[in-house]
Amino acid sequence: MMADAIRAVILGIIEGVTEFLPVSSTGHLLLAERFFDLGEGEYWKSFAILIQLGAILAIVALYFTKLWRVAVGSLTNPDDRRFIVGVLVAFLPAVVIGLIAGKFIKGYLFNPWVVCFTLIVGGAVLLWVDQLDLKPREHDATRFPLLMYFWIGLAQCAAMIPGVSRSGASIVAAMLLGSDKRAAAEFSFFLAIPTMVGAFAYDFYKSHGEMTTGNLGILAIGFVVSFITAMIVVKTFLTYVTRHGFVLFAWWRVIVGTLGLIALAMGR
């Protein structure tokens, strides 16, 4: 029991740290399973998805005032209603592609070789975007054009390939479409809410039979740890990326991916 609790804490920290950074939480959790035996077994694979709700609640807590203002304002304010529609428009491609290709992706692409290669490629993309002389036109994530929301949502679907990073794909797309770094990061947080709640609900429905009293206790530990960690990371990330860009995260991806490939080539 103690070993499972320690494993839950470690996985909760990995989830909370990586979920909203452009480094791929799924990729890091898969590598943790492969190299450190932290997530083997069907329960632990479901556990990695279920504790994402803790990270999502961190976003809701941090942005509660803004989200509440939009929810109440949507009754009378067309701009607030348009933002809600925009999030749903951005969320829709993931639903469609997930239903069509979800089994194929999980069956063939969820392996450490794919994760390592996509971590490196994604790092190169982040370095490239960070060096571009972009001229941001959009500075408020709740006021993007509707078509821009759709293209960001379509780009997010690339993150169904483990190692790509949901936040990374949506942030890069938003910046290339005219957003500044902070607004791009904030919209990736908002888009994560329906995307990850949907993934949580689907996986909980599939795995609820495995949720014994003991398993629920372990899940609660991972949930709380991911919530607290995500709260700290999101607040720090926004300040850091606004001032320094994405170079640190790009090299993080490249180094982790390269080390992973070396370990795999050595037969680990």
Predicted confidence (pLDDT) per residue in 76-106, tens digit: 999 999 999 999 999 999 989 988 987 888 7
* CA pair distance 151, 90, nearest whole angstrom: 7
Q: Is the confidence at residue 257, as pLDDT, over 70? A: yes
User: What's the average model confidence in pLDDT over 186-204?
Assistant: 84
Provide the residue ranges of all domains of the chain, joining segments of one domain with +: 2-265
- Our CA dihedral for 193, 127, 25, 163, rounded to 10 degrees, sits at 110
Task: Say what the pLDDT of residue 44 is.
Answer: 61
Task: Say what the pLDDT of residue 66 is.
Answer: 92
Inter-residue contact 199 to 220 (CB < 8 Å): no
* CA pair distance 124, 120, nearest whole angstrom: 6
User: What's the average model confidence in pLDDT over 224-243?
Assistant: 92
Q: 138 - beta bridge partners?
A: 179
Predicted confidence (pLDDT) per residue in 65-79, tens digit: 999 999 999 999 999
User: What's the average model confidence in pLDDT over 246-256?
Assistant: 96
Across 79-83, 92-96, 197-201, 235-239, least confident range:
197-201
Q: Which residues contact 257 (CB under 8 A, 6 or more apart)?
A: 115, 116, 117, 118, 119, 120, 123, 163
Inter-residue contact 45 to 39 (CB < 8 Å): yes
Average pLDDT of every residue of the chain = 89
**Pick the residue with more confidence: 146 or 267?**
146
Across 28-32, 39-43, 239-243, 249-253, least confident range:
39-43
**Pick the residue with more confidence: 266 or 200?**
266
Tokens at 182, concatenated? 């902070």
- Sequential DSSP letters for the chain: -HHHHHHHHHHHHHHHHHTTTTT-HHHHHHHHHHHH-SS-SHHHHHHHHHTHHHHHHHHHHHTHHHHHHHHHHTTT-HHHHHHHHHHHHHHHHHHHHHHHHHHHHHHHT-SHHHHHHHHHHHHHHHHHHHHS-----B--GGG--HHHHHHHHHHHGGGGSTTS-HHHHHHHHHHHTTB-HHHHHHHHHHHHHHHHHHHHHHHHHHHGGG--HHHHHHHHHHHHHHHHHHHHHHHHHHHHHHHHTTHHHHHHHHHHHHHHHHHHHTT-
Q: Which residue has the tokens 């991916």?
A: 257
> How confident is residue 208, by pLDDT bands cut at 50, 70 and 90?
low
Across 172-181, 189-198, 255-264, least confident range:
189-198
The proportion of the chain whose per-residue pLDDT surpasses 90, expressed as a percent, equals 63
Across 18-22, 160-164, 195-199, least confident range:
195-199
Predicted confidence (pLDDT) per residue in 170-192, tens digit: 999 999 999 999 999 999 999 99
> How confident is residue 33, by pLDDT bands cut at 50, 70 and 90?
confident
Q: Is the confidence at residue 211, as pLDDT, over 60? A: no
Tokens at 69, concatenated? 């203002």
